[in-house]
Structure 1
Amino acid sequence: MTLLCPLTQPPCYAVIFASLQGDDLAGYDAMAERMATLAAQQPGYLGVDSARTTDGPGITVSYWADEAALLAWKTVAQHALAQKLGKERWYSHYTLRVAKVERQYEGPEGR
């Protein structure tokens, strides 16, 4: 689990990927590790927050400097392969949302 990603000041973009794992997870952990490494090498990548329960539900939020950076990540060939395998094998369901982060607060004291 990775939480509390240090971000630069907003605005930035967040790609929110919520998923339920399927039954065939062969190769999943290795691919997830590879995608984390590869994403971190992309121009405009700011970081990631990720959590998964032991019974499968998970959420990963990646942060990007601008929309062009996240669209470029979508076209990386190895990422496209991971998406294909996810759809075919690893996820029984997923939801992906893209949001623009306008503000950020940290705490516990907050704003």
Structure 2
Amino acid sequence: MQLHPTDSIAVIFCAQRTGTGDEAYQSAAAAMAELAAQQPGYLGEDHARSADGMGITVSYWRDDGSAKAWRDHPDHIVIRERGRGEWYSEYSLHVARIERAYDWQK
């Protein structure tokens, strides 16, 4: 985890995996993480996944325009549609403005 500037945007993606196509999913997820990191306004991301396939990815963006540009990136659109068809049984997405941020590590 890393501290992100206040007044930045967090895109919170919560998804339940179907459990099919694991290798293709891992490949696509890695490619999307790499592509997102190359986008203007990208600040980082955090991930968590439970044993039952429920996952959360939070991506951080400098501003709402940067987050929307990522949403509308043609390669991201293709993978999002593939996710809906193959890899996810359900998902939700939330966009929030970061007003405060704290960081700690041992």
The TM-score normalised by the length of structure 2 is: 0.92
**1:31-58: CA deviation from partner (whole Å, max 9, x where unpaired):** 0000000000000000000011222011
1:78 to 71, 75, 93: 75
The 8 Å contact of residues 6 and 47 in structure 1, kept in 2 or not, is answered as no
- For structure 2, the residue ranges without an aligned partner over 5 or more in a row are none
Bigger fraction of residues in helix: 2
RMSD of aligned residue pairs (Cα, Å): 1.3
1:15 to 11, 18, 22: 11
Q: How many residues align?
A: 104
Indicate conservation of the 8 Å contact 2:3/2:102, yes or no: no
Where in structure 1 do 4 or more consecutive aligned residues deviate above 6 Å? none
Q: Distance in 1 between matches of 2:19 and 2:102?
A: 38
What residue ranges of structure 1 are gaps of 5+ in the alignment?
none
Counterpart Cα distance in 2 of 1:5 and 1:59: 16
1:29 aligned partner: 26
